[in-house]
Structure 1
């Protein structure tokens, strides 16, 4: 936490307006050799920061949060950007307001503190206060409509004619600018550990059929998060109003007026031209998501060479790889990575267009691929901190966070989603050997799980509540008619089991004993009430009133969680085998939420061929079906509807690395790994690597006549076992190359 801050929060006036913009400027004199120079800055909601005419900030900073619990600031090393003599700091700040879904509403503001230490031991300090100049009437139109019905981002209407020329230069005369006012924003300041947004890829778009003066439609080639940059070099166009509209979809050759599957007349940005010879516009104060975009309002044809699609997202440390002899799987892997990038936007969002919301279940599933491919453990801490900040008095969470959780904003809860907090906490510990994260967020997890324990009634089960229950999603095949839901209770058992481990690691013996006993009692109650001994399956729900099973439904989803989470461990071999047969006979009826557990269950119980067949196909339902439809991103579900870029369904990348390459952590932080690949008949080779805190782990296997050649490269500090069939070979750091018989 940043302490002893001298700077003041400032704004351009005391009049709070929705979707407002402010320009701030401060000059200072520097004489002497700089030893060290640091600058701390934050804003509500987002800022762009300039020093001596150069933008030094990333994109969309700071990340969204609850400012009353965690207002994040960023720190920049500005030593190399300083000059002798007059230096100028400038910033453009955008305030949302409006009680949107993916941020917490608060007062607007900007805060900055720079400390410059000189070699002669003098110090220059520059802080925000009422001496800073501000531009009241900015080039941005205030109070514009929100682009989505969930009020995530505002239409950016930028008038180049009103841009103050050279306002970031030392010679600019700001005497006509107003002075800023100090505002009383009592935010709790914390350093942002998550990287800023960045432009990760620049794409030259493809022209679609609609190409005429005044209306042109372009294709980015895939769904991206980010924005469109236009470069125009024509004079005599002053006052022309250029509109850029975005969508995943086309309708009769034009860009559809929607945001994903929801109608919107406002998913666009506008630029009003000046008479400058070169004009560049990009609406980069919000992440949009689109494949197609339409430019209207210009009286000539704009060449694709004048347009850049900037695919922008949080700057991630991408380290993972996967490549094999089956091209479909390579395309699925790349689509998963693209989807994950699109959905890491300062928080783990469900989709980059319609909601941009951080759900616990979505985050948990996204972390499957993210933790194996991107070395960014700070993302897990951000999710855990966000929901710790949003935790309600009874221990539960809002259905997403950050959010304006109130009747004026958004007012929902999903009980099953709360339980994913413990799973995320365990990932944050186990994959990175980070005991500190357990200490920090154990109280939050404990408060949540105690809420569920407190709901257990005379049946020994947790009853269904009045809130929105989701066992599987989307288009779930799970029956919710009864008073007690199998999936909810199985998830609660799984989380109690994890909390038992966590309490033990932290040395909290009392909690360890309590959670373990509660878990065992719950498991017995689940079997007693929700296991149908006649059918030898778990039913979806149970009705206490009629003392019978309801809906006559024993979905694949309910049986997958009951088996995979260990509920079925107390059944006999015949009963367990019957459950497995039921799961196999159902094919693939699990939806996005529980298909990851289905795949794991199959791979880990001798049904690798069946699991692989679910991934390696182009027919519905499958991830390959999405590729066959021409998409380079992963959909929300398996049906061709709603969002076509939803990262919670992008876990096949992890599955390919964990089971086809066979890389699995056996000790915390990958101190020990198991390399046990499933080698399909259809595949000739597979290779790739995953990111760990110890370093990258590389695996390649290849069929060579009657042999399997396996190469493994382990980082320092990791040891492992290569296990194929009945062969087990212990390995240590460095490269190991072995040949094993295929028969």
Structure 2
């Protein structure tokens, strides 16, 4: 067995789930018929739980021992029985460690700098440098184990004895800071020493405390809580004794060298003010002030349950450009999100102003405007003497270019490096074809996903930085084919559930740091994420925990929509956002979103064994379908569009009618023909809400040739237009590189799901969950010569590669242990060869195969 995981994390530290899911993958054995799990307080022990020999092929099992207490360490292992009845050896040991489960486990206090303590004042700390907080303690003997539990309101950076406690950045994650703050647990055993030790914390306001000002861009302003921190160090000595050191009245505070940080507008740092060794034991803190210990905020401290944000790439500038007025502009080669790092050797006192941006104007300067990046956004840095390295630490930017004002002319391109940040979800996908344009389209979509994969999925990393919810579920497959997001999406759902209002509304953004008006707060294709995502997690990973945890909230949201609907039709919302053809009525798009949420609710209820709810929501789904067909009779008529009532007949309305299955059977081919011909000619007129449905509907109907022609088109609108006009990440609009708007925005990325499922053929058979039963059905449209695709499933790696060669067609498929597959060859008019040994023919071009590597050929 391999990849033993707890809650979809490897040996997690400081979790809160007392009945976690334990999972594993098979190695060697192609099938499992039984499992045996043991868990104990030491490796190899079974004193906490022994499942016994269980007859089951399940590779995801809920821990069945007594609920572990705070700080408990649980070691576990598994063995399996193969198809021949033989038991494997025990797996390597895995472990999980509990965090602080009860509020009473926290003996530390929240602390802050006295100047930042102004309860209820959204301007608290404005004009003040970011604080440094430090506390010292003594270790009296050899250390066996040390854990630092730490959280902050805003953004914090923590250190022990002058060394960072983690490579995670921009901690803590986005939450509703008035209700919950995520804490992290770190193993700091190796950082401690006998004698004097010190813990240091630097604080920034982050998105929790966006104070109002006039000189820089801000999406919104408001405070969920001024910067403060809480930290608790728990030390266990080799003799079994233990001590706890926490933040409290004995700590000291002073001003740091970062003189300002604004989540949207920029960060200012004066390196001359650096306090050397401030977080080391024995530092001179004679001029520091005692910290303020404010009243404890009425928030819950909850363990972070997904990968943190980290530096995942380092991209040196590929070129130093010089604008027409002589200003230095550094190009890192691609649009990214993260930090621009300076590496300089200069005398002290030089003032530098750094403007990040995605595009340049005709004079070679960085473009910033409200519709693109927001404006003005800039970071400033004042040099100290000699070699120095700096990047912002309390915020981030979206950029390709960094304009650096005030830089001496002799400084070369080596001065700027992009440190690319994102939530550190493990890459899962590979996609490559024989067509360079298609490869570039995949790359720009993936780059935009990475640029918005932070502690929530944002829609752009500069002017917004907010968790708009429509992309999280409409483009779930795009994200999940490319990254392992099982734990990540469960955490996103917690923020959505926290944002739900007492009447059931799920706002369009979560966390809801700012309350927008009307449809920008209440649209079923945004709020519906709370219902769709638990189902998508179940389908993709075989995990029912999100459906179980959020069932009541999901039901309240669907019932909220029902309360707003009139006889099955929902009239409010944003419609098909940013559609080239604006004629599709808003109620038509919203009613489809309502139908989709209700249909999903019925399925979830069925899986969870809630028969009454399944029947009720199933009947409601049928009622909505009938209401849609009756209210929008011209949805699939091919007539001219309109702005309301029955004035539909747009491409979007036809796609949604097909998706709902309300088009009469005899008309379906005609509607498909009409949409396919338009798409084939590059005539896509749908917006971001309907676009994923377009790829799903046409792919399901086998209209891959039409989708292929659109994929390789380069006119406007198309993905190829963006590539040909220099996009290095997907842009907000079809003509984004020439029109403007955000240059790092993944909402139009739905084609990437078709790349994997349509061209790569990687999908699930009907009724399968977690990719237990694969459906490998690649399309080979147009002149495409070869495809290589793969993704990591709960059971392991599935890989597909095919190519046309020597007048024939060859397909290679890798099915992971624990899975099986139906493989369907595309109909290319070529006679298929006999099924390989071990495959069962299901038809002329269809085969059933178990786990293993399989090669199919035709026409040679």
**Same fold at TM > 0.5:** yes
Q: Confirm or deny that 1:496 pairs with 2:591.
A: no
Which residue in the other structure is 1:134 paired with? 253
| Deviation digits for residues 425-480 of structure 1 (CA, Å, limit 9, x no counterpart) | 211121011111101111111111101112333xx232423xxx222121442436
1:619 pairs with one of 715, 719, 744: 715
Structure 2 gaps, min length 5: 1-15, 17-100, 119-123, 212-218, 828-843
Query: Which residue pairs with 1:462 in the alignment?
Result: 569
In the alignment, which residue of structure 2 is the partner of 1:330? 439
CA contact (8 A) 1:490 1:567 kept: no
In 2, the alpha carbon distance for the partners of 1:166 and 1:249 equals 40
**Does the residue aligned with 1:650 lie in a helix, a strand or coil?**
coil
In 1, the alpha carbon distance for the partners of 2:559 and 2:203 equals 42
Distance 1:121 1:98 in 2: 45
Question: Which residue pairs with 1:716 in the alignment?
Answer: 817
1:74 aligns with 2:166: no
Residue 541 of structure 2 is matched in structure 1 by 432
Instruction: Indicate the larger mover: 5-14 or 99-108.
Output: 99-108
Alignment of 1:635 onto 2:740: no
Q: Distance in 1 between matches of 2:221 and 2:661?
A: 35
Change in 2 beyond 3 A, CA 1:263/1:665: closer
2:657 corresponds in structure 1 to 562
Q: Which residue matches 2:292?
A: 181
Partners of 2:543 and 2:640 in 1: CA distance: 36
Residue 70 (structure 1) shift: 2.7
In the TM superposition, residue 18 of structure 1 has moved relative to its aligned partner by 4.2
Q: Residue 531 of structure 1 aligns with which residue?
A: 633
Q: TM-score, normalized by length of structure 2?
A: 0.79
Q: Does 1:663 align with 2:765?
A: no
Q: 1:606 to 1:492 in 2, by over 3 A?
A: same
CA–CA distance in 2 between the matches of 1:531 and 1:407?
Answer: 33
Which residue of the other structure, out of 120, 125, 137, is the alignment partner of 1:28? 137
Q: 1:18 to 1:384 in 2, by over 3 A?
A: farther
> Judging changes above 3 Å, is the alpha-carbon distance between structure 1 residues 101 and 367 closer, same or farther for their aligned structure 2 residues?
farther
Q: Which one of 4, 14, 17 corresponds to residue 125 of structure 2?
A: 17
Equivalent pair of 1:538/1:562 in contact (CA under 8 Å): no
Report the CA distance between 1:198 and its aligned residue: 1.5
Matches within 5 A, 1:65-464: 65-96=175-206, 97-98=209-210, 105-135=224-254, 137-142=255-260, 146=262, 152-183=263-294, 184-210=296-322, 215-234=327-346, 237-259=347-369, 261-262=371-372, 265-275=375-385, 277-406=386-515, 412-457=521-566, 460-464=567-571
Cα deviation, 1:169-226, whole Å, max 9, x if unaligned, reads: 2231123211212122121111112222222221221335417998311111111101
SS class of match (2:556)? helix
In 1, distance between residues paired with 2:482 and 2:375? Answer: 37
What do residues 335-391 of structure 1 show as CA deviations (whole Å, max 9, x unaligned)? 121111111111100011110111111222342221111112122112211111011
Greater relative contact order (Cα < 8 A, sep 6+): 1
Contact 2:320 2:412 in 1 (8 A): no
Write the distance in 1 (CA, Å) between the matches of 2:632 and 2:639.
9
Query: Could you tell me how far apart the structure 2 residues matched to 1:686 and 1:499 are?
Result: 36
Asked whether the 8 Å contact 2:319–2:332 carries over to 1, the reply is no
Match of 2:672 among 569, 580, 583: 580
Per-residue deviation, 1:294? 0.9
Q: Structure 1 CA distance, aligned partners of 2:661 and 2:394?
A: 47
In structure 2, distance between residues paired with 1:412 and 1:19: 33
Deviation at 1:533, TM superposition (A): 9.2
C-alpha contact 2:343 2:390 (8 A) present in aligned 1: yes
Task: Decide whether the 8 Å contact of 1:449 with 1:496 is kept in 2.
Answer: yes
SS in 2 for 1:249: coil
Q: Which residue of 1 aligns with 2:621?
A: 519
Structure 1 residue 646: Cα displacement: 0.7
Q: Judge conservation of contact 1:64–1:103 (CA < 8 Å) in 2.
A: no
Residue 104 of structure 1 and its aligned partner are, at CA, apart by 6.8
Partner of 1:608 in structure 2?
Answer: 704
1:580 positional shift: 1.9
Give the Å deviation of 1:154. Answer: 4.2
Mark the CA change 1:422 to 1:476 in structure 2 (over 3 Å): closer, same or farther: farther
Quick one: distance in 2 between partners of 1:50 and 1:322? 40
Give SS of 1:446's match.
helix
- The Cα shift of 1:299 comes to 3.5
Structure 2 counterpart of 1:546: none
Deviations 1:623-650 (A, max 9, x none): 1111111111111121223112112222
Distance in 2 between residues matched to 1:248 and 1:198, nearest whole Å: 22
1:130 counterpart SS class: coil
Q: What is the root-mean-square deviation in Å for CA atoms of aligned residues?
A: 2.5
Of 671, 674, 684, which residue of structure 1 is paired with 2:775?
A: 674
Question: 2:373, 2:462 within 8 Å by CA — same for their partners in 1?
Answer: no
After the TM superposition, which of the residue ranges 165-174 and 605-614 deviates more from structure 2?
165-174
Displacement of 1:576 in angstroms is 2.0
Residue 404 to residue 504, structure 1, CA distance change in 2 (3 Å):
same
The question of whether the paired residues in 1 share the 8 Å contact of 2:459 and 2:466 is answered with yes
Q: For structure 1, which segment, 710-719 or 495-504, has the greater mean C-alpha deviation from structure 2 after superposition?
A: 710-719
Give the Cα–Cα distance (whole angstroms) in 1 for the partners of residues 171 and 406 of structure 2.
Answer: 31
- Alpha-carbon distance in 1 for matches of 2:518, 2:138: 46
**SS of match in other structure, 1:250:** coil
Question: Contact conserved, 1:343 with 1:351, CA < 8 A, in 2?
Answer: yes
Deviates more, 1:179-188 or 1:403-412: 403-412
Q: CA deviation at 1:259?
A: 4.9
In 1, Cα distance between the equivalents of 2:327 and 2:620? 64
Counterpart Cα distance in 1 of 2:352 and 2:610: 62
Residue matched to 1:691: 792
More displaced stretch, 15-24 vs 553-562: 15-24
CA–CA separation in structure 2 for the residues paired with 1:411 and 1:604: 32
| Cα offset, 1:103, TM superposition | 9.1
How far apart are the structure 1 equivalents of 2:716 and 2:638?
29
Query: 2: distance between equivalents of 1:464 and 1:456?
Result: 7
591 and 211 in structure 1: CA distance in 2 versus 1, 3 angstrom threshold: closer
Question: CA 1:120–1:734 in 2, change beyond 3 Å: closer, same or farther?
Answer: same
Decide whether aligned partners of structure 1 residues 9 and 696 sit closer, same or farther in structure 2, where only a CA change above 3 A counts.
Answer: same
Say if 1:313 and 1:343, in contact at 8 Å, map to a contact too.
yes
What's the TM-score, normalizing by structure 1?
0.91
Aligned residues: 714
Residues 210-265 of structure 1 deviation map (CA, whole Å, 9 limit, x = unaligned): 1799831111111110121112223xx32221111111121233433515635755
Deviation (angstroms), 1:556: 0.5
Deviations 1:598-639 (A, max 9, x none): 122112112111111111222221111111111111111212
1:541/1:717 CA distance change after superposition, 3 Å: farther
Aligned 8 A contact 1:452 1:462 in 2: no
